[in-house]
A = this chain, B = another copy of it.
Amino acid sequence: MQNDDVNHDTVEHGMQPEDTPELRALYQSFQDNHMNPLWTQTGDLMPMHPKPQAVPHVWKWSTLLPLAEASGRLVPVGRGGERRAIGLANPGLGGNTYISPTLWAAIQYLGPRETAPEHRHSQNAFRFVVEGEGVWTVVNGDPVRMSRGDLLLTPGWCFHGHHNDRDAPMAWLDGLDIPFSQQMDVGFFEFGSDSVTDYATPNFSRGERLWCHPGLRPVSQLNDTVASPIGAYRWEFTDRALTEQLLLEDEGQPATVDPGHAAIRYTNPTTGGDVMPTIRCQFHRLRAGTQTPDRREVGSSVFQVFEGAGAVVLNGERHRLDKGDLFVVPSWVSWSLEAEEQFDLFRFSDAPIMERLGFMRTQVGDT
């Protein structure tokens, strides 16, 4: 399919009219009246396959973390800016803080005993903790502990603030659908309490206590919800699920995605579907020595290395990866993972958008 582009670009010029004064006058009239002819732009508007402006890119944790720490020293946190978060800006997207056309990824940093005030917005958000602990995020009044390996949800229009209960700072990954909501003009925002509404520091949130029992649903909560009612997906469970998949594979049972490649999707227990309407979250574990087949998908994904070391090959270019490193896979860019040792990666993507709107396609291997 890729080679058709040449053909397309050549053919593109077949319809061009002769350059005459009348044509120039017509084009001027178009411009005066906010009109553009299709015939001068087809190739760009409708490429043979997705040609994202976003580019594949890797951010090293060894660079990100010190800059987040420096921000902690230099920048106060509070009302207005709301969060001490540093967004990853895709080099292809013109300086916008978009890691892809749909997704936002940022490192948020909270110093000892600091509080990030409460607010809510239409944008869906999550946090993933690659290291550290001691912060509680308070979501609609429910304090949720944040610890290493946990995925914490803040679905659209839930009030939320964070506070650090410890004497050590903490950094984590924030993921949102800000670029989508900004470009599509869907966002609302509302301020909440300047502090968090509950400074309690329970080990388990009320959402977990109500919902985190496998296959069990409270009879008091039978209405399906747009986003998952589980506020925290704990590392203990993720790790166990992946461990079991690899053990089952050892026993000859179908359990993994590819040989040596275990993966779980975080889901909304009221529907079995994605945790939020725009964002898919998954966790992948590769055995040492595993290499996944080349894969292309419509839509964009962001990965963060949680543990282990390896590499990713993005459109044929190999990038070595260590703990905490992040990379983005724009639409239809081929990707393959290689594990030097057991390799654990958190992943989020805009796949629910693509699937719900009928645009998803996947290509595995050279086809």
Cα A80 to Cα B45 with chains together (Å): 12
Question: Which residues of B lie under 8 Å from residue A15 when comparing CB positions?
Answer: 75-82
Which of A16-24, A127-135, A164-172 lies at the binding interface?
Answer: A16-24
Q: Is A195 an interface residue (CB 8 A)?
A: no
- The contact of A80 among B12, B26, B83, B102, by CB within 8 Å, is B12
Distance between A297 CB and nearest chain B CB, rounded to angstroms: 11
Contacts of A184 on B, CB cut-off 8 Å? 101-102, 180, 299, 331, 350, 353-354, 359
**Which residues of B are found within 8 Å of A89, using beta-carbon distances?**
34-36
Q: Which residue of B16, B218, B299 is within 8 Å of A241 (Cβ)?
A: B218
Interfacial chain B residues near A79, Cβ < 8 Å: 11, 14-15
Partner of A26, one of B20, B74, B216, B254: B74
A354 to chain B: closest residue by CB: B186
Assuming the A-B contacts A42-B81, A89-B34, A191-B11, are A76 and B181 also in contact, with contact meaning beta carbons closer than 8 angstroms in the complex? no
Whether the pair B48, A34 counts as a contact (CB closer than 8 A) is no
**Chain A contacts with B in 243-293, Cβ cutoff 8 A:** 244-245, 247-248, 251, 253-257, 263-272, 275, 277-278, 282
Q: CB within 8 Å of B: which of A195-224? A: 206, 209-220, 222, 224
Of B26, B41, B70, B213, the contact of A70 (CB 8 Å cutoff): B26
**Cβ–Cβ contact B353 & A39, under 8 A:** no
Partner of A213 from the list B23, B49, B237 (CB cut-off 8 Å) is B237
- Most chain B C-beta atoms within 10 Å of own C-beta, residue among A59, A181, A191, A241: A241
Of A226-234, A301-309, A314-322, A335-343, the segment with at least 4 beta carbons within 8 Å of chain B is: A226-234
Write out the residue numbers on chain B whose beta carbons fall within 8 Å of the beta carbon of A356.
277, 356-357
User: Is A59 a contact of B88 with CB atoms below 8 Å?
Assistant: no
Which chain B positions have C-beta within 8 A of A37? 71, 75, 85-87
Most B CB contacts (10 A, CB to CB) among A75, A101, A330 go to A75
* Of B38, B206, B217, B247, the contact of A267 (CB 8 Å cutoff): B217
Please count how many residues in chain A sit with their CB below 8 Å of the partner chain's CB atoms. 149
B51 and A189 form a contact (CB under 8 A): no
Across the interface, do B254 and A230 meet the contact criterion of CB distance under 8 Å?
Answer: no
Q: Does A358 contact B (CB under 8 A)?
A: yes
**CB distance A233 to B219 under 8 Å?**
no
Check A182/B265 contact, CB under 8 A, given A34-B89, A36-B87, A86-B36: no
CB distance from A272 to the nearest CB of B (A): 4
The reply to whether the CB of A33 lies closer than 8 angstroms to some CB of chain B is yes
Cα A33 to Cα B325 in complex, Å, equals 13
Contacts of A71 in B (CB 8 A): 26, 37
**Distance in angstroms between the alpha carbons of A197 and B263 in the assembled complex:** 29
A to B CB contacts below 8 Å, 29 in the list? A12-B81, A15-B75, A15-B77, A15-B78, A15-B79, A35-B88, A36-B96, A39-B80, A39-B82, A39-B84, A41-B97, A42-B80, A45-B178, A101-B185, A186-B331, A210-B245, A211-B214, A212-B214, A213-B214, A213-B264, A215-B228, A217-B265, A217-B266, A218-B241, A219-B263, A269-B269, A270-B272, A353-B357, A356-B357
Known: A184-B354, A209-B244. 11 other contacts (CB 8 A): A14-B78, A26-B74, A39-B85, A42-B83, A46-B121, A181-B359, A183-B183, A212-B215, A215-B267, A215-B269, A217-B265
